[in-house]
Amino acid sequence: MSNIRVTYTGFISFIGGLFALVTGSIFSLILTRTLTPEEFGHWGLIFSVISYFALLIPMFGYWSTRETARKLDSGKTSVLSTMGFSIIASAVFIPISLIISFQTESNQTQFLFATLLIPAIFINGILSAIALGYKPHVISFSSIAFGLVQVPTALFFVYFLDMGVIGVILTLLMAHVATIAVLIISIREKLKTNFQITYLKKWIKLFWIPLYPSVYNILAESTILIYTVLTGSIIGVAYWVASIVLVSVIAPAGLISRAVYPKLLNENTKDFFRDNLTYLFYFGILFTSIVITFAKPGLFILNPFYEKATLVVIILAIDGFLTILVNMFQLSLIGIEKIDTFSHSTYKDYIKSKLFYVYTLRLIQVIIYVIIFVIMLQIFTSSVSSEIDLLIYWAIILVVTEIPLTIILGVMIKRNFPDPFDYVRIMKFLIISIVVFTFTYYITEIYLNYTDNLYHFIPNLFLLVVFGVGIHLLITCAIDSKIRTLFKSIIYEIKNKINP
């Protein structure tokens, strides 16, 4: 029997995500207010390239989560294997970074210095993968540690010492070290086992399964590089990255379902799924509404220069909501797949399984998205006068290609889980959000004064956010008994932690 509590872990993850959101927002504010748009664009490009290599972490982490959730001790094997692999990845990153920096006229020193991040990201990733199968809520504690280190070090290196992109890299390196320390302490029991070559042989034999999703992730990440090469504009990347920063506000909503995957791996029951999915819609709709309503003031806080990208943020917010649904659907479907528990499973069996099929759907979607994106750039780059228009087209393409995949995976969820969608409650949450945040937007447009004095602007904006969220919570708690029960259980858990 699993000791993973889905709602409790989801709540802890959600709180941790909110904390990470606050610290991440402060970090982004430091960057956007300190770095020039060109420097911020360069950092966006560097981070995008590093993200390609981070996609290799599941080669070992994918199996670590599944085996840890099933009480198989492969922790030390996965950590040592990942450490060795990170050294190889770092060696490969160096020549690639030199080529890209030359092609895009970026700072080579900054690219090379970013090599230090790769081992830290790899070790952080594998420890998080083990924690996900063992104690999912621990990942939230590590996120809190990341934020607590990230903000003061960013102030020191980026703001006070004015070290630019190098300061950003040092900040993230120290934050990752703090995260690694918390994870090691929290899951140390899973790291005391012996190194077992049997696990490593299995992972290498089946490496193509966890790395298969990396194909579509690499393609999706390549859009920033493609945009830079085809348009020759680093400013457009800065607009795009600033927009993504705001849309990341939606991400904590997805954490409410963090424990669903390991729970499904460990048990055959699916009774908890319907309620958890409804909570995902509840918080997803709420956070998406916040981003859409406060897109303009949010960009203004980052830097008034980015305010023109308001419509880009609004469109990307819709994609952000669809993304948390797609991610949850994917993990839920592979969570009920048992093919890897059978020793006699063949390559053909794996290809026919959900471990392969659900990611094939995603790959098809991304290929279509990238093709349409490239065609759009070829057609409109020379004819469109405003760079913002190009970014709007880009965002629309992303959303339009995401919708069919969401529907297809939703149909698969409906076929594999008992009555998963509570349509009445979901529509109720959507209607309430539309009404409440339409009114909040109206109030914001009337009373919010856009001033360069952030000490005046941010508190006023915060009050408006609290106003909108507060009305939303009051109405949903008043008309939905399960939401009332959810928040009562949250208060109960907090009281127990304070007064055990």
Looking at residue 1, its pLDDT comes to 42
* DSSP element (H, E) containing 79: helix 75-104
In a domain, 486, yes or no: no
Nearest CA among 296, 307, 286 for reference residue 238: 307
pLDDT at 410 over 80: yes
In a domain, 101, yes or no: yes
User: Cα dihedral sign for 144, 146, 150, 153?
Assistant: positive
Q: Which range marks the domain in which residue 379 is found?
A: 6-421
The residue behind tokens 């349509």 is: 423
In a domain, 451, yes or no: no
Residue 294: pLDDT band by 50, 70, 90 thresholds?
very high
Q: How far apart are CA 287 and CA 281, in angstroms?
A: 10
Task: Render 338-376 in DSSP notation, one character per residue.
Answer: -GGG-TT--HHHHHHSHHHHHHHHHHHHHHHHHHHHHHH
Q: What is the CA radius of gyration of the chain?
A: 22
Q: How far apart are CA 59 and CA 81, in angstroms?
A: 10
User: Cα dihedral sign for 122, 126, 132, 136?
Assistant: negative
pTM: 0.79
Residue 448: pLDDT band by 50, 70, 90 thresholds?
confident
Q: What's the burial of 379, exposed, middle or buried (CB within 10 Å: 0-12/13-18/19+)?
A: exposed
In a domain, 440, yes or no: no
Give residue 71's region: left, alpha or beta (phi > 0; psi -120 to 50): left
In a domain, 453, yes or no: no
In a domain, 81, yes or no: yes
Looking at residue 335, its pLDDT comes to 85
Residue 261: pLDDT band by 50, 70, 90 thresholds?
confident
3-state DSSP assignment of residue 466: helix
* Backbone φ, ψ for residue 282 (5° rounding): -60, -55
Tokens representing 354 are 């959900």
Per-residue pLDDT tens over the stretch 342-382: 777 777 888 888 888 888 999 999 999 999 999 998 888 77
In a domain, 208, yes or no: yes
CA end-to-end distance (rounded Å), the chain: 25
Nearest CA among 144, 95, 142, 96 for reference residue 120: 142
Q: How far apart are CA 389 and CA 375, in angstroms?
A: 15
In a domain, 463, yes or no: no
Write the CB contacts of 240 (distance below 8 Å, at least 6 apart in sequence). Answer: 44, 224, 227, 309, 312, 391, 394
Q: What's the burial of 472, exposed, middle or buried (CB within 10 Å: 0-12/13-18/19+)?
A: buried
Give residue 193's region: left, alpha or beta (phi > 0; psi -120 to 50): beta
Domains in the chain, number: 1
Percent of the chain with pLDDT over 70: 94
